[in-house]
Amino acid sequence: MSVVEIEQMANVLKLLGDKTRLTIISLLIEKELCVCEIVDVLQTSQPNISQHMRKLKDGGLVRESKRGQWVYYSLSVQDKPYMAELLAHLPSQQDTLGKLTCKDNECCN
């Protein structure tokens, strides 16, 4: 493993050292989510979530797709094989997603 690869891995792990970002990653394991859904689950502000999403996107962990005025996020870790082991140990968020007050992107339409 090269010094550059180790540095890249360290940067990714630093990103995941934040509880909010790690929770977002665990949610995105389950399904693609709109910003409003992440806001709903984490009970925080849209600007706060957008800041975390920007960091995750800059770190190459998520990708975004824009649909109308809304941005949807999904995991993008195929190029980081070491992430598979970490993701396998994150707790399921299916129950949490089942409690969304914003269901089936209704808040995003």
Measured CA to CA, the distance from residue 104 to residue 77 in angstroms comes to: 25
Q: What is the pLDDT of residues 2-58, one digit of tens each?
A: 999 899 999 999 999 999 999 999 999 999 999 999 999 999 999 999 999 999 999
Reply yes or no on whether the pLDDT at 102 is more than 80: no
Domain residue ranges in the chain: 3-88
What class does CATH assign to 3-88? mainly alpha
pTM of the model: 0.89
C-alpha 103/C-alpha 93 separation (Å) is 15
Task: Report the pLDDT value the prediction gives residue 68, as an integer from 0 to 100.
Answer: 86
- The DSSP output letter for 91 is P
Residue type, 55: K
Residue 89: phi and psi, rounded to 5, are: -100, -5
